[in-house]
Amino acid sequence: QQQVKQSPQSLIVQKGGISIINCAYENTAFDYFPWYQQFPGKGPALLIAIRPDVSEKKEGRFTISFNKSAKQFSLHIMDSQPGDSATYFCAASITGNNRKLIWGLGTSLAVNP
Protein backbone atom coordinates (compact mmCIF):
# COMPACT_ATOMS: atom_id res chain seq x y z
CA GLN A 1 0.00 0.00 0.00
CA GLN A 2 2.99 2.25 0.36
CA GLN A 3 4.14 1.80 -3.22
CA VAL A 4 4.09 4.30 -6.03
CA LYS A 5 4.19 2.62 -9.41
CA GLN A 6 5.74 4.63 -12.23
CA SER A 7 5.65 4.01 -15.97
CA PRO A 8 7.17 3.86 -18.47
CA GLN A 9 10.67 2.95 -17.36
CA SER A 10 12.11 4.78 -20.34
CA LEU A 11 10.72 7.15 -22.93
CA ILE A 12 12.01 8.57 -26.18
CA VAL A 13 10.32 11.68 -27.58
CA GLN A 14 11.05 13.90 -30.53
CA LYS A 15 11.86 17.54 -29.94
CA GLY A 16 8.66 19.53 -29.71
CA GLY A 17 6.61 16.52 -28.72
CA ILE A 18 4.73 15.81 -25.49
CA SER A 19 6.31 13.59 -22.86
CA ILE A 20 3.88 11.80 -20.57
CA ILE A 21 4.90 9.88 -17.45
CA ASN A 22 2.37 8.13 -15.28
CA CYS A 23 2.25 7.14 -11.62
CA ALA A 24 -0.29 5.14 -9.65
CA TYR A 25 -0.72 4.64 -5.93
CA GLU A 26 -2.86 2.58 -3.57
CA ASN A 27 -2.76 4.46 -0.29
CA THR A 28 -5.59 6.99 -0.35
CA ALA A 29 -4.03 8.78 2.62
CA PHE A 30 -1.29 10.21 0.39
CA ASP A 31 -1.88 13.94 0.16
CA TYR A 32 1.19 15.38 -1.52
CA PHE A 33 2.52 14.35 -4.92
CA PRO A 34 5.75 15.93 -6.19
CA TRP A 35 7.71 15.29 -9.36
CA TYR A 36 11.48 15.51 -9.37
CA GLN A 37 13.95 15.83 -12.25
CA GLN A 38 17.42 14.38 -11.93
CA PHE A 39 20.36 14.81 -14.26
CA PRO A 40 23.25 12.30 -14.17
CA GLY A 41 25.53 12.83 -11.20
CA LYS A 42 23.25 15.45 -9.64
CA GLY A 43 20.69 15.50 -6.89
CA PRO A 44 16.98 15.56 -7.74
CA ALA A 45 15.35 18.94 -8.27
CA LEU A 46 11.72 19.60 -7.42
CA LEU A 47 9.80 20.29 -10.63
CA ILE A 48 6.20 20.62 -9.63
CA ALA A 49 3.90 19.24 -6.96
CA ILE A 50 0.18 18.85 -6.40
CA ARG A 51 -2.28 18.16 -3.62
CA PRO A 52 -5.34 15.93 -4.19
CA ASP A 53 -7.83 18.79 -3.94
CA VAL A 54 -6.67 20.00 -7.36
CA SER A 55 -7.04 18.05 -10.64
CA GLU A 56 -4.39 19.86 -12.60
CA LYS A 57 -1.46 22.17 -11.99
CA LYS A 58 0.62 23.85 -14.65
CA GLU A 59 4.00 25.53 -14.38
CA GLY A 60 5.44 26.58 -17.70
CA ARG A 61 5.77 23.53 -19.93
CA PHE A 62 5.18 21.13 -17.04
CA THR A 63 1.70 19.99 -16.03
CA ILE A 64 0.54 17.53 -13.40
CA SER A 65 -2.79 15.86 -13.99
CA PHE A 66 -4.33 14.22 -10.93
CA ASN A 67 -7.14 11.68 -10.96
CA LYS A 68 -8.17 11.02 -7.39
CA SER A 69 -10.77 8.35 -8.15
CA ALA A 70 -8.31 6.38 -10.29
CA LYS A 71 -5.48 7.02 -7.81
CA GLN A 72 -3.24 8.14 -10.64
CA PHE A 73 -1.24 11.22 -11.46
CA SER A 74 0.85 12.08 -14.46
CA LEU A 75 3.47 14.54 -15.62
CA HIS A 76 3.11 16.13 -19.03
CA ILE A 77 6.05 17.95 -20.57
CA MET A 78 4.87 20.07 -23.47
CA ASP A 79 7.18 21.08 -26.33
CA SER A 80 9.85 18.70 -25.04
CA GLN A 81 13.42 19.85 -25.55
CA PRO A 82 16.75 17.98 -25.61
CA GLY A 83 17.59 19.76 -22.35
CA ASP A 84 14.67 17.94 -20.73
CA SER A 85 16.52 14.64 -21.17
CA ALA A 86 16.84 13.39 -17.60
CA THR A 87 15.37 10.92 -15.17
CA TYR A 88 12.01 11.86 -13.69
CA PHE A 89 10.71 10.55 -10.38
CA CYS A 90 7.23 10.78 -9.00
CA ALA A 91 6.71 10.55 -5.26
CA ALA A 92 4.01 10.75 -2.64
CA SER A 93 3.85 11.48 1.04
CA ILE A 94 1.43 11.32 3.94
CA THR A 95 0.92 13.28 7.12
CA GLY A 96 3.06 11.96 9.93
CA ASN A 97 6.12 9.69 9.79
CA ASN A 98 8.19 12.81 9.10
CA ARG A 99 6.38 13.12 5.77
CA LYS A 100 8.99 10.95 4.12
CA LEU A 101 8.62 10.56 0.38
CA ILE A 102 7.65 7.27 -1.21
CA TRP A 103 9.37 7.18 -4.59
CA GLY A 104 8.55 5.74 -7.96
CA LEU A 105 11.31 3.84 -9.75
CA GLY A 106 11.96 6.63 -12.22
CA THR A 107 11.58 7.25 -15.94
CA SER A 108 14.55 7.92 -18.16
CA LEU A 109 13.49 10.48 -20.76
CA ALA A 110 15.46 11.08 -23.93
CA VAL A 111 14.39 13.91 -26.22
CA ASN A 112 15.82 13.58 -29.69
CA PRO A 113 16.81 16.80 -31.47
Provide the residue count of the chain.
113
Do 35 and 64 contact (CB within 8 A), yes or no? Answer: yes
Quote the least distance from Cβ 43 to another protein, whole Å.
4
Do 28 and 90 contact (CB within 8 A), yes or no? Answer: no
Select from 16-24, 55-63, 78-86, 95-103 the region that touches another protein (CB under 8 A).
95-103
The verdict on 41 binding another protein (CB under 8 A) reads yes
Quote the least distance from Cβ 79 to another protein, whole Å.
26
d(CA 76, CA 46) in angstroms, rounded, equals 15
d(CA 15, CA 51) in angstroms, rounded, equals 30
Residue 17 or 31 with smaller CB distance to another protein: 31
The verdict on 30 binding another protein (CB under 8 A) reads no
The residue within the footprint of another protein, chosen from 30, 35, 36, 73 (CB under 8 A), is 36
